[in-house]
Structure 1
Amino acid sequence: MATEAKVGKVTLAVPSNQEYVDGIKSAPAFGIKDKLGYMFGDLGFNSLQVLVNTYLMIFFVNIVQITPVHFSLIIAICKASDAINDPFIGRVVDNKAGSKFGKYKPFLMKYLLPYLVTTILLFVNLASAPYAVKIGYALITYFIWGIVGTFINVPYGAMLSSITADMKGRTDLSNFRSIGSVMANVIVTSIAPLILFDQMDNPVASQFVVLAIILSVFTAVCLFLTHILVRERIVIPDKTDEQKSINYFKIMKTFVKNRPMIAVISAYIITKFFIQTTGIMNQYVFMSHYRATEQLAALGLATLIPIVAAMFIVKPMINRFGKKNLVTWPALLAAASFAVNAVFPVSSTMYIFFQLLGQFFVGFFSLLIWSLIADAVDYQAYLTKDRNDGTICATITFLVFLVSSLSTSMIALLLDVVGYDVALGAAQTTEVASSIKMLGGILPVIGAVLIFVCFHFIYNMTDAEMQKISQEVNGL
């Protein structure tokens, strides 16, 4: 029987796998290898996420010829179902004993191949199949893809807390993870328009699966580098038999008392719902309003500029203002920048400029989100006197994706409301094209304002208070 030990205010069973404990204790000091390895994880995983989240709608609607309304229902059903499974997957992660490679890293390699295969299967062209077959295939493959991805994303997110307990180290990991995420977006949105669209700005069916295969190979290389470079340094004790069962209602009830968690989760949902969807809207804005899909490649590449600029100044800005202020007030400046695109008849070049300017100001939240989540997870352990990092991260994923599952559906429905005609392709009416451009600007305005509300009125912890709590729950 496993003995028990107290870690901070948390009492759990000492790990019975000595190989795991020895591996943790023998880890070298936290450093640049961990930061780069964690960056590669997000770079690889999100390359396929960006591909699916940005271009699956165009593939199924414009190529496979599933109506926008039916596609929106498919996405909503699959994401909601996937979100419901997330807490159970998180429990599997928490209950799994650590190995010589760590507690969380083994999941990345175990589920890598299924993740790659299901991504490629999503872009198989079934345009000539009966409509019911198209719907069924889309439902099944997208649902499985979401489940497999969760088995990578949840342990990857929980792993941040086990790499280091130092707040500055976590901030660095969050920064590098955000860089990886942005680079994934830049790479995919830069090369995809050059591969997926013809000279008439219409998508080419056969090129989608080709791009999926190329990015799958790239993802495999990136996650392998994560496995090599990242080391876990905090021993996560085994669960007792009693602790292996969990009351999810109790977790949700505790969440209500965790105001930092509420603020971060809400802002995360808002970002996915209103700001990250600009990638999807840009396809339609530049295809229908500006008739210049070739500029999407430049826009995709240019999105690296604001995040890199924010990255260079984020540390001195944190030292001067603190994390909370740094994600609060710049959100209003982001809203003003995005509003220019929504209200004024700007050229395509100016549209890109003001979108990038807005992304710079919300970039501080993007860089710090995973550090803020790690802090909130520690605060959750402080409140509950129990460590369930995988379950908590999965519950966060559950809440985020349950609500944000409506984002793609919302865009599909909004396109339908403004009169978008799939049969016309890029040749929409002037009125419809203008409405699409307005939507592309107004959605991130709403998101930026709501992010400000979350951190100005809900988040209630100082950096010093959070550092003290993290040290306590990690036994430092």
Structure 2
Amino acid sequence: MASNLSSSSASHSAPRPFSLLGKLAFGAGDIGPGMTANLLAFSYLIFLTTAAGLSPVAAGSVLAIGRIWDAVNDPFIGYLSDKTRTRWGRRYPWMVVGALPFGLSFFLMWVVPPLESEAARFGYYAVVSLLFQMFYTVINLPYATLTAELTKDYDERTELTAFRLASSLFGAIFALGLGLVITQTIEDLGQQYLVLGGICAVLAVLPLLWCVWGTYPYAVQRNALQPAATDEVPLSFVAQIKVVFANRAFLFVVGIYLFAWLALQMTASIIPFYATFWMGLDSYFLAALLVQGTAIVMMVLVNQLSRRLGKQEVFYIGIGTWVIAQIALFFVQPGQVAFLYLLCIVISFGVATAYVVPWAMLPDVIELDELKTGQRREGVFYAFMTLLQKVGLALGLFLVSLALQFSGFVSEAAQQPDSALMAIRIFIGPVPMVLLLGAIALARFYPITRQMHEEMLLQLAERQRQQDSDGAAG
């Protein structure tokens, strides 16, 4: 018995490193969510206003309803996945069961129903948006928590996060590239979006199954399928909420992520309007493709800089560069297409930073909570991070739609009034700039440094050795 405990402890302390195929499989879990989320971020608001015929405020309400429901849905699914007990672990069953409904509900979002009234169309899109956001959470939240469960190494987490988010960007790039091809081969606007949504719906499901198949052996080997047994009495859901919000480091990570991603999502939603109505381009997909496509290469740079300089330092560099490029977009004039595309490439460095750094910080926060409480609540922390982010995004997207509505934007019109064009330029320049400066300010006070994290791991390892010793003696 003691021999088995010793063997298990040795396996736990020196797990088999992730191979390249293992890292790729882990990253594949975010291809589908990245593909669908980014296509919605860039294209759904303009789809609803130009193809589905909704007013900007109605279209923004659809997006806000879906986001708010998603935010409410997240904590409960995170809590349930933490409490799930099966022979396959806590997270994997959720990913497998939710995969097919996730793809189907995404496809339905791009169907233009044969309904005459705007109210009926609004109801249709509100319902399918609620369904999609629910199944998105079912597959993505359990997947996201695997980062903290599969490894405790500071640098390996950063590397897995980079693979995960690079895969997310790959999915986004594929969707945007496909959109560019489709807009050049299909003339009908509604058919363009229907074909794009259908192909992406199918391709979003398959990588999820690859992720489960490719990472499950690592989860078994690292004893990551179930949480380590403790003598602690589990906290109630309400008590866990109190613990989450009492974690100062977590609140900083949430704020950093919220400000940076709100800037990104607001920019993404307004780029189609900016490229189409201000710049006069036939397609907005190339501009979006340059932002997301170059970000994959930039993520390698961000990962390397993070190892050399630290997470906070690389965040200052990446987001600071993004601020300069973002405000420059306000001053770009119609016809300066090459300058626009250059700024899109520069922005990709900041986008890569916003992808990698906050998600690499979150597992450190979870271990700080474990050190204080003796329990691991990955699902709850990940859920509340996304909850607050999505509430903020719902508000941000609704503000964009309100700005379009009250500035005189005309749905399904080829030309827009000067007031609408000015609103579009403000929301692509000054507004994101202010949000990004807020993210930099919060990063300045993030308390967990590399040295502090190493000390935390030593204390957790000592606690685990003591528990193993007490168990062997018992």
1:445 aligns with 2:430: no
Which residue type is aligned with residue 300 of structure 1?
A: L
In structure 1, the partner of 2:242 is 253
CA distance in 1 between counterparts of 2:128 and 2:450 reads: 43
1:289 Cα offset (Å): 0.8
- Label 1:358 to 1:171 Cα distance change in 2 as closer, same or farther (>3 A): same
1:376 Cα offset (Å): 1.4
1:98 Cα offset (Å): 4.1
In structure 2, the partner of 1:6 is none
Paired residues, number = 450
State the secondary structure of the residue aligned to 1:461: coil
In structure 1, the partner of 2:199 is 214
- Label 1:72 to 1:197 Cα distance change in 2 as closer, same or farther (>3 A): farther
Which residue type is aligned with residue 210 of structure 1?
A: V
**1:368-397 CA distances to partner (integer Å, 9 max, x unpaired)?**
232111111222222333211112211222
Q: Which residue, out of 156, 175, 190, partners 2:177?
A: 190
In structure 2, the partner of 1:117 is 104
1:273 aligns with 2:258: no
**1:424-458 CA distances to partner (integer Å, 9 max, x unpaired)?**
1x3223553344234212233123211101101x3
Q: Which residue, out of 134, 140, 150, partners 2:137?
A: 150
In structure 2, the partner of 1:461 is 448
Return 5+ residue gaps in structure 2 as ranges: 1-7, 466-474
1:384 aligns with 2:373: yes
1:69 Cα offset (Å): 1.2
1:397 aligns with 2:382: no
CA distance in 2 between counterparts of 1:135 and 1:299 reads: 27
Q: What is the TM-score of this pair, normalised by structure 1?
A: 0.86
Higher helix share: 2
State the secondary structure of the residue aligned to 1:466: helix
CA distance in 2 between counterparts of 1:160 and 1:98 reads: 19
Contact 1:115 1:148 (C-alpha < 8 Å) held by counterparts? yes
C-alpha RMSD over aligned residues:
3.0
Q: Which residue, out of 148, 156, 174, partners 2:161?
A: 174
CA distance in 2 between counterparts of 1:177 and 1:80 reads: 25
In structure 1, the partner of 2:41 is 53
State the secondary structure of the residue aligned to 2:111: coil
In structure 1, the partner of 2:26 is 38
**1:200-252 CA distances to partner (integer Å, 9 max, x unpaired)?**
9xx7112322212211221122112211221322433378999566233x334
In structure 2, the partner of 1:12 is none
Return 5+ residue gaps in structure 1 as ranges: 1-17
1:229 aligns with 2:217: no
CA distance in 2 between counterparts of 1:125 and 1:385 reads: 51
1:344 Cα offset (Å): 4.9
CA distance in 2 between counterparts of 1:298 and 1:78 reads: 26
Contact 1:327 1:362 (C-alpha < 8 Å) held by counterparts? no
* Structure 1, 90-99 or 431-440: larger mean CA deviation: 431-440
Which residue type is aligned with residue 464 of structure 1?
A: Q
Contact 2:77 2:138 (C-alpha < 8 Å) held by counterparts? yes
Q: Any residues of structure 2 matched to 1:58-457 within 5 Å, and which?
A: 58-100=46-88, 102-196=89-183, 204-230=189-215, 231-232=218-219, 233-235=222-224, 236-237=226-227, 246-248=236-238, 250-294=239-283, 296-297=285-286, 299-301=288-290, 303-312=292-301, 314-315=303-304, 317-345=305-333, 347-424=336-413, 426-430=414-418, 432-456=420-444
1:408 Cα offset (Å): 1.9
Contact 2:316 2:440 (C-alpha < 8 Å) held by counterparts? yes
Contact 1:283 1:293 (C-alpha < 8 Å) held by counterparts? no
* Structure 1, 394-403 or 124-133: larger mean CA deviation: 124-133
In structure 2, the partner of 1:11 is none
**1:289-309 CA distances to partner (integer Å, 9 max, x unpaired)?**
111133532541453224413
Contact 1:254 1:383 (C-alpha < 8 Å) held by counterparts? no
Contact 1:338 1:358 (C-alpha < 8 Å) held by counterparts? yes
- Label 1:46 to 1:256 Cα distance change in 2 as closer, same or farther (>3 A): same
Contact 1:190 1:300 (C-alpha < 8 Å) held by counterparts? yes
State the secondary structure of the residue aligned to 1:294: coil
1:39 Cα offset (Å): 1.6
In structure 2, the partner of 1:5 is none
In structure 1, the partner of 2:5 is none
State the secondary structure of the residue aligned to 1:283: helix
CA distance in 1 between counterparts of 2:391 and 2:60 reads: 14
Contact 1:195 1:211 (C-alpha < 8 Å) held by counterparts? yes
1:28 Cα offset (Å): 4.6
Which residue type is aligned with residue 308 of structure 2?
A: R
Contact 2:291 2:348 (C-alpha < 8 Å) held by counterparts? no
1:171 Cα offset (Å): 0.7
Which residue type is aligned with residue 142 of structure 1?
A: S
CA distance in 1 between counterparts of 2:370 and 2:318 reads: 30
- Label 1:405 to 1:452 Cα distance change in 2 as closer, same or farther (>3 A): same
* Structure 1, 294-303 or 209-218: larger mean CA deviation: 294-303
State the secondary structure of the residue aligned to 1:218: helix
- Label 1:258 to 1:199 Cα distance change in 2 as closer, same or farther (>3 A): same
Which residue type is aligned with residue 109 of structure 2?
A: L
CA distance in 2 between counterparts of 1:379 and 1:240 reads: 17
CA distance in 1 between counterparts of 2:174 and 2:255 reads: 28
Which residue type is aligned with residue 221 of structure 1?
A: L
Which residue type is aligned with residue 228 of structure 1?
A: W
1:260 Cα offset (Å): 2.3
CA distance in 2 between counterparts of 1:64 and 1:77 reads: 17
In structure 2, the partner of 1:8 is none
Contact 1:330 1:361 (C-alpha < 8 Å) held by counterparts? yes
CA distance in 1 between counterparts of 2:14 and 2:370 reads: 26
CA distance in 1 between counterparts of 2:458 and 2:162 reads: 21
CA distance in 2 between counterparts of 1:401 and 1:419 reads: 27
CA distance in 1 between counterparts of 2:45 and 2:283 reads: 19
CA distance in 1 between counterparts of 2:250 and 2:122 reads: 37
Which residue type is aligned with residue 289 of structure 1?
A: W
State the secondary structure of the residue aligned to 2:40: helix
CA distance in 2 between counterparts of 1:363 and 1:308 reads: 9
